[in-house]
Amino acid sequence: MNQEELDKEWDVSAALPIRRARTFDQARAVSQEFRGRDLVNRATGLAARVSNNSLGKMLHEKAVGKSESPAAHAMAVANLDGLYERAALGWSKPDVRGDANFAAIHRFFAPFLAEGRAYLAKITVLEMADGVTPNRIYSVESVGLNEKSPSAPWVAASADADGISLTSTRSAGDILSLAQKVQDYNAERRR
């Protein structure tokens, strides 16, 4: 994608969700529209699927606890297809346990609007090594960025937790820019 296309994909004010979901039951119900179907990320061409098992993990209490709020998390899960399709690849890493079934663990990021605020969805995709088994969208988090939770430290902490150096990762600048756009959007709405 060229810069103009990326700017359009990452326009926070246009990141309206297609589906509404405030509860996990609503998110589970509307996700039927894309569950088990190949979803293709436009920036990378990587196809991945949301399985029943992955969806169950995404709606588990532990996964929800990593998000800003349960309602924002439900909205991200309900719109995971569109979020993944227009997400930017932040970085990739090997599986921490060295599982030979995984070629890589990918972190994707996309903005979305919910509850009158902007959020950044952090999407984890497991790329399968055999080239036959469908890649899996494993998790999603909804992160609210603002002056109390600034974008640069959050991106740095996320990369660090994955053992990624932001200075040696080409796409890190794009993710920092995207996170800053989410933070700026929220700051403008508070005025």
Question: Cα(123)–Cα(19) distance, rounded to whole angstroms?
Answer: 18
Query: How many domains is the chain partitioned into structurally?
Result: 1
Residue 76 in domain: yes
Residue 41 in domain: yes
Residue 174 in domain: no
Count the neighbouring beta carbons within 10 Å of the beta carbon of residue 129: 14
Residue 179 in domain: no
The closest alpha carbon to 109, from 44, 28, 161, belongs to 44
Predicted pLDDT of residue 115? 83
Residue 168 in domain: no
What is the per-residue DSSP string for the chain? --HHHHHHHT-GGG---SS--SSHHHHHHHGGGTTTS-EE-TTT--EEB--HHHHHHHTSHHHHTTSS-HHHHHHHHHTHHHHHHTPEEEEEE--TT--TTEEEEEEEEEEEEETTEEEEEEEEEEEETTSSSPPEEEEEEEE--SSSS-HHHHHHHHHHHTT--GGG-TTHHHHHHHHHHHHHHHHHHH-
Residue 108 in domain: yes
pLDDT in tens, the chain (191 residues): 555 665 666 688 778 888 889 889 999 999 999 999 999 999 999 999 999 999 988 988 888 888 888 899 999 999 999 999 999 999 999 998 989 999 999 999 999 998 889 999 999 999 999 999 999 999 999 999 888 889 999 999 999 999 998 888 888 888 999 999 999 999 988 76
Q: What residues make up the domain containing 101?
A: 3-144
Residue 159 in domain: no
Residue 39 in domain: yes
Length of the chain measured in residues: 191
pTM (two decimals): 0.92
Residue type, 25: D
